[in-house]
C-alpha cells in the first residue's frame, strides 16, 4: 500500500481539524502527518485569540488535545516556515503541504489620524492580554475614555477586557503582567461604535449578554439608535440569533442599569471618519451618523459627531499574512486558492500545495466552520494523488535530522505535555486552573524538563 507523507503548517483548529479528518478519511493509502507551528504551544487562536474569561470557548482545546494525544499526528512547535523550513524542504520530505496559518494581523482602517499615538489594532491588544510569546509585556493603558470601532465579537471582547474590574480576571489564566497592566488603567468609559443598526450587529447572543452584564460596569445604549426598516424587520423575523440580540438590546434600553464608576456604551449608526489628535496623541474621534436605506443597509446622513477619547481600538477584522514562496492575494489577505487548491498567477493549481481555514477564506465564521473548510481541501488533496510531490527523503526520521542539523530547537508533543503540566501546576499554586507561561525561552526550557 502506498503512503501519503503530509506536512501541515499551522497547529490551530484549522490545521488540527484537517489532520484529523484526513486520518479518518476512507482511502486506499496510509497517511503520516507532521504538524508544524511557529509557536511553542499548539491550538492557535483558541489559545491566543480567545479572551481569558471565556472558558466555554477554550473548552475546544480539550477536543484538539485529544486529536494530538492519540499519537498518529506528530507535533513540531517552535518551527517557523520560511526560516527553519522552506518549500523546497517540504518537497524533499513530503508528498504535499496544507497551509493553515490563519490570520492574526489587524485589517486596516483608512481614515485620517489612525496612526496617532494611542490608536491600536484590536488583534495586537488581544495578543497582549492572551500572553502571546512574541508580543511585549507592557501595553499603554493610560486612557480614561476609549473608543472601540467594530460590531463583532472581537470588539466586544476588547471592550469587556478594557472595562472589566481586573480582580475579576484573577481566576483566569492571565499572567501577572497583564493583570498589573489592567489594574493600572484609569479607564472609566469604553464606547463601542458600529456603522449599522442593532439588527445588523455581528455579535453572538452569548457574547452580547456577557458584555452587557459585567459586574461593576453600567452598560448603556441610546434611544436614538433603535430604528428598523423593512430589511431589518425581515432579518429579525427570519433569524433567531438576530431576534435574541435585538431583544437583549431593547431590554437594556427599556430597563437601564444602575449607575457605576465604569461604563460600557454601545453606539450604532456611527461611521468613523477621523481620529482626532493633539501633540501627536489621540484626543478624540469623529463619526458621521448613518441611517437605514430600507434594505437593512446604511447610507451617510451628513451629520457629524465627536467624542473625547484618549485611545482608539479598531476591531474591523483580521488579515492574513503572506508566506514565503506561496502566492498571496494581498487585497483579500488570503493565500491565492481555488477551493483550497493553491493557484499561481494564471489560476493554475500548484501541485502539492493546499490551504485551509482563515488563510484560505478570510477571517469569517466561527471556529467550527474550519471543519467544512478542511473537508473541502482534503477532498481535493486526495483526488489530486497523481500530482503529489515525489520526496527524496520521505522517511519520518529525515525531517528530524534536517531540523537538528539546522539547530532548530523544536518541541514535540511530549515537550508540550511537560509545558502544559507546568502551567497547570503554577495555576494550582495561584488557585486557578492554569497560569499561562509567556516567555518563549522559559517555555522551551520547561518543555525540555530544565
CB distance 440 to 133 below 8 Å:
yes
The three three-digit cell numbers of residue 42, written as one number: 499548539
Q: Identify the pLDDT of residue 433.
A: 85
Q: Give bridge partners of residue 77 from the DSSP assignment.
A: 411
Mean local confidence (pLDDT), 278-282? 97
Q: What are phi and psi of 78, to 5 degrees?
A: 65, 35
Percent of the chain with pLDDT over 90: 84
Q: Which domains does the chain have, with CATH numbers?
A: 3-103+320-410 (3.40.50.720), 105-318 (3.50.50.60)
- Spatial neighbors of 223 by CB under 8 A, at least 6 apart, are 253
Q: Identify the pLDDT of residue 268.
A: 97
**Of 430, 444, 439, residue with least CA distance to 173:** 430
Q: Give the DSSP H/E element, type plus range, for residue 46.
A: helix 45-48
**What band does 263 get if pLDDT is binned at 50, 70 and 90?**
very high
Residue 56 has pLDDT above 80, yes or no: no
**Of 317, 274, 52, 255, residue with least CA distance to 147:** 274
CB distance 92 to 256 below 8 Å:
no
**What band does 323 get if pLDDT is binned at 50, 70 and 90?**
very high
Q: How far is CA 143 from the centre of its chain?
A: 25
Strands 145-149 and 189-193: parallel
**Of 24, 88, 19, residue with least CA distance to 377:** 19
**What band does 318 get if pLDDT is binned at 50, 70 and 90?**
confident
Residue whose C-alpha cell is 477621523: 274
Cut 0.85: pTM above it: yes
DSSP 224: G
Average pLDDT, the chain: 94
Amino acid at each position: 500500500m502506498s503512503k501519503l507523507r503530509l506536512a501541515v503548517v499551522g497547529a490551530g483548529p484549522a490545521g488540527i481539524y484537517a489532520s484529523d479528518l484526513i486520518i479518518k478519511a476512507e482511502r486506499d493509502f496510509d497517511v503520516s502527518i507532521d504538524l508544524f507551528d511557529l509557536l511553542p504551544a499548539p491550538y492557535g487562536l483558541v489559545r491566543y485569540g480567545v479572551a481569558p474569561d471565556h472558558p466555554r470557548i477554550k473548552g475546544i482545546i480539550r477536543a484538539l488535545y485529544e486529536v494530538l494525544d492519540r499519537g498518529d499526528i506528530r507535533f513540531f512547535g517552535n518551527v517557523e516556515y520560511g526560516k527553519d523550513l522552506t518549500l523546497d524542504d517540504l518537497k524533499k520530505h513530503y508528498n504535499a503541504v496544507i497551509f493553515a496559518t490563519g490570520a492574526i494581523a489587524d485589517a486596516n482602517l483608512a481614515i485620517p489620524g489612525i496612526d496617532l499615538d494611542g490608536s491600536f489594532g484590536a488583534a495586537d491588544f488581544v495578543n497582549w492580554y492572551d500572553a502571546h510569546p512574541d508580543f511585549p509585556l507592557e501595553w499603554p493603558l493610560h486612557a480614561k475614555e476609549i473608543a472601540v470601532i467594530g460590531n463583532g465579537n472581537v470588539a466586544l471582547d476588547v471592550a469587556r477586557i478594557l472595562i472589566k474590574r481586573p480582580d475579576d480576571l484573577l481566576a483566569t489564566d492571565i499572567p501577572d503582567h497583564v493583570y498589573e497592566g489592567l489594574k493600572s488603567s484609569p479607564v472609566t468609559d469604553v464606547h463601542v461604535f458600529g456603522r449599522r443598526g442593532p439588527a445588523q450587529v455581528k455579535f453572538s447572543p452569548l457574547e452580547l449578554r456577557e458584555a452587557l452584564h459585567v459586574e461593576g460596569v453600567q452598560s448603556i445604549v441610546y434611544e436614538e439608535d433603535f430604528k428598523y426598516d423593512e430589511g431589518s424587520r425581515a432579518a429579525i423575523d427570519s433569524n433567531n440569533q438576530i431576534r435574541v440580540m435585538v431583544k437583549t438590546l431593547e431590554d437594556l434600553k427599556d430597563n437601564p442599569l444602575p449607575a457605576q464608576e465604569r461604563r460600557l456604551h454601545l453606539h450604532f449608526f456611527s461611521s468613523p471618519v477621523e481620529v482626532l489628535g493633539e501633540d501627536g496623541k489621540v484626543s478624540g474621534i469623529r463619526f458621521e451618523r448613518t441611517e437605514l436605506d430600507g434594505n437593512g443597509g446604511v447610507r451617510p446622513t451628513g451629520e457629524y459627531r465627536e467624542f473625547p477619547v484618549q485611545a482608539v481600538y479598531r476591531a474591523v477584522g483580521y488579515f492574513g499574512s503572506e508566506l514565503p514562496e506561496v502566492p498571496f492575494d494581498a487585497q483579500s489577505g488570503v493565500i491565492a486558492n481555488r477551493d483550497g487548491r493553491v493557484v499561481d498567477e494564471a489560476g493554475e493549481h500548484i501541485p502539492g500545495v493546499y490551504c485551509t481555514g482563515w488563510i484560505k477564506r478570510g477571517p469569517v465564521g466561527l471556529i467550527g466552520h474550519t471543519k467544512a473548510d478542511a473537508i473541502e481541501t482534503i477532498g481535493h488533496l486526495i483526488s489530486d494523488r497523481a500530482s503529489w510531490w515525489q520526496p527524496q527523503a520521505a522517511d519520518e526520521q529525515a525531517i528530524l535530522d534536517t531540523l537538528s542539523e539546522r539547530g532548530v530547537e523544536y518541541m514535540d508533543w511530549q515537550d508540550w505535555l511537560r509545558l502544559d503540566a507546568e502551567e497547570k501546576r503554577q495555576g494550582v499554586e495561584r488557585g486557578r486552573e492554569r497560569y499561562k507561561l509567556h516567555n518563549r525561552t522559559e517555555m522551551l526550557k520547561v518543555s525540555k524538563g530544565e
